[in-house]
Amino acid sequence: MLPVLILLLLPSIAVFTGLVVLNSIFATYILFYGVVCVAVPLFDRVVSHRQTMSEFFRYIGFVNTRKSLLPGLLVGVTFLVAICLFFMVFSRQLIDTSSMTETLNRWDLDSGNLFVFLFMMIVGNSILEEIYWRGYVFSRLKELTGPRNTILLTALFYTSYHLITTITLFSVADGLLLSASIFLVGAFWACLRIKYKSIIPAVISHLLADLGLMLIYLKYLAV
C-alpha cells in the first residue's frame, strides 16, 4: 500500500514544488506532467513490469473507444457550458483580475507563452491527468481495494493539488468551494471509468471542461 500512497501524494508534491517553491508554471509542467504523469507510469508498467506499449495503454484504459466517444462528448459539452455560464454569472464575485494576473505573472505566465499555456491546459492537461488518475492510479488501486474506495481516493488526491491553485488564485472560501466541485467531478470521471471500462469518456469530457476554463481565462485574464 505504501507505493500507492506515494503515487497519490506525488502530484501535490510536484505542483507545490513547481508553483509555490519555484514560482514557475513551466517547472510545474516538467515535474507534474513530465515526471509524475508520464515517466512514473511508464517506468512502473513498461520497465518494471515489462509491459508492451499496447499492454500499457490497455492497462490504463484506452479501450472501448467507439462505445465511449458519445458519452464523453455529451458530458464534456455539458461541463463546458456549465463552466462558462457559472464564471460569467459570478465573475464579479470570483475573479479579481489584478490579483490573478499578478499571480500568473509571478508564475512566469504572460502573453509571450500564451499558446503553449493554452495547449498544455486544454490538450496536455486533460490527457495526462486522466492517464495518471483514472488510468494508472485507478488501475493500481483497483488491485488493492474495491471500486468505492478507488473512486473516493482518486477523487480526493486529485483534488488535493487543485486546492493549491484555487486558494492561490481565488479567496480561501472560493477556493474550497471550487475544490469541492473538483472532487465531485473527479469522482464522476472515476464512475465513467468503471461504467465504460475506459478512460476515453473522461479524457474527452475533461478536455472540453478545460476548454471552458481557458475560454474564461481568455475573456477575463489574458492580456
pLDDT in tens, the chain (223 residues): 889 999 999 999 999 999 999 999 999 999 999 999 999 999 999 999 999 999 999 999 999 888 899 999 999 999 999 999 999 999 999 999 999 999 999 998 877 789 999 999 999 999 999 999 999 999 999 999 999 999 999 999 999 999 999 999 999 999 999 999 999 999 999 999 999 999 999 999 999 999 999 999 999 987 5
Of 114, 118, 139, 124, residue with least CA distance to 60: 139
**Residue 18, number of CB atoms within 10 A of its CB:** 23
The pLDDT value recorded for residue 28 is 96
Given the C-alpha cell 462505445, which residue does it identify?
Answer: 67
Of 220, 215, 219, residue with least CA distance to 81: 215
d(CA 222, CA 214): 10
d(CA 26, CA 23): 9
The pLDDT value recorded for residue 156 is 97
Torsion angle of alpha carbons 72, 78, 82, 84, nearest 10°?
A: 80
Q: Where are the domains of the chain?
A: 2-220
Cβ atoms of residues 203 and 127 within 8 Å: yes
